[in-house]
Amino acid sequence: MKKVKITKVKSVIDRPERQKRTMEALGLRKVNASVEVEATAQILGMVKKVQHLVKVEEI
Protein backbone atom coordinates (compact mmCIF):
# COMPACT_ATOMS: atom_id res chain seq x y z
CA MET A 1 0.00 0.00 0.00
CA LYS A 2 1.18 3.52 -0.77
CA LYS A 3 2.06 5.94 1.98
CA VAL A 4 1.39 9.66 1.97
CA LYS A 5 2.90 12.48 3.99
CA ILE A 6 0.30 14.99 5.15
CA THR A 7 1.46 18.40 6.39
CA LYS A 8 -0.77 20.97 8.07
CA VAL A 9 -0.16 24.34 6.39
CA LYS A 10 -3.04 26.45 7.74
CA SER A 11 -4.64 26.92 11.14
CA VAL A 12 -8.09 25.58 12.00
CA ILE A 13 -9.07 28.74 13.85
CA ASP A 14 -12.41 30.02 12.51
CA ARG A 15 -13.12 26.71 10.75
CA PRO A 16 -16.18 24.51 11.25
CA GLU A 17 -16.01 22.00 14.12
CA ARG A 18 -16.14 19.11 11.64
CA GLN A 19 -12.92 20.26 9.96
CA LYS A 20 -11.22 20.72 13.34
CA ARG A 21 -12.12 17.15 14.32
CA THR A 22 -10.95 15.79 10.97
CA MET A 23 -7.54 17.43 11.43
CA GLU A 24 -7.32 16.00 14.94
CA ALA A 25 -8.26 12.54 13.62
CA LEU A 26 -5.46 12.77 11.06
CA GLY A 27 -3.04 13.48 13.91
CA LEU A 28 -2.31 17.07 12.91
CA ARG A 29 -2.31 19.43 15.85
CA LYS A 30 0.17 22.22 15.11
CA VAL A 31 0.91 24.15 11.93
CA ASN A 32 3.76 22.55 9.92
CA ALA A 33 3.22 19.23 11.72
CA SER A 34 3.47 16.18 9.45
CA VAL A 35 2.28 12.59 9.60
CA GLU A 36 3.04 9.63 7.35
CA VAL A 37 0.06 7.31 6.89
CA GLU A 38 -1.14 4.55 4.58
CA ALA A 39 -3.17 5.89 1.66
CA THR A 40 -6.44 4.14 2.49
CA ALA A 41 -9.82 5.25 1.20
CA GLN A 42 -10.75 6.56 4.66
CA ILE A 43 -7.60 8.70 4.96
CA LEU A 44 -7.93 10.07 1.42
CA GLY A 45 -11.56 10.97 2.14
CA MET A 46 -10.53 12.91 5.24
CA VAL A 47 -7.79 14.68 3.30
CA LYS A 48 -10.30 15.68 0.62
CA LYS A 49 -12.49 17.36 3.26
CA VAL A 50 -9.60 19.51 4.53
CA GLN A 51 -7.53 19.83 1.36
CA HIS A 52 -7.42 23.62 1.71
CA LEU A 53 -5.61 23.24 5.07
CA VAL A 54 -3.03 20.56 4.21
CA LYS A 55 -0.32 19.63 1.73
CA VAL A 56 -0.09 16.01 0.59
CA GLU A 57 2.98 14.25 -0.84
CA GLU A 58 3.29 10.66 -1.98
CA ILE A 59 6.16 8.67 -0.50
Cβ–Cβ < 8 Å for 52, 11: no
Task: Supply the pLDDT for residue 49.
Answer: 97
Q: Is the dihedral of CA 51, 20, 45, 55 positive or negative?
A: positive
Q: Domain segments of the chain: what residues?
A: 3-58
The arrangement of secondary structure in 3-58, i.e. its CATH architecture, is: 2-Layer Sandwich (3.30)
Q: Coil, strand or helix: which one is 49?
A: helix
Q: Does the predicted TM-score (pTM) go above 0.85?
A: yes
As a whole number of Å, the CA-based R_g of the chain is: 11
Per-residue pLDDT of the chain in tens (59 residues, 90 and over written 9):
899 999 999 999 999 999 999 999 999 999 999 999 999 999 999 999 999 999 999 99
Task: Supply the pLDDT for residue 56.
Answer: 97
Q: How many CB atoms lie within 10 A of CB 41?
A: 7
Task: Supply the pLDDT for residue 1.
Answer: 81
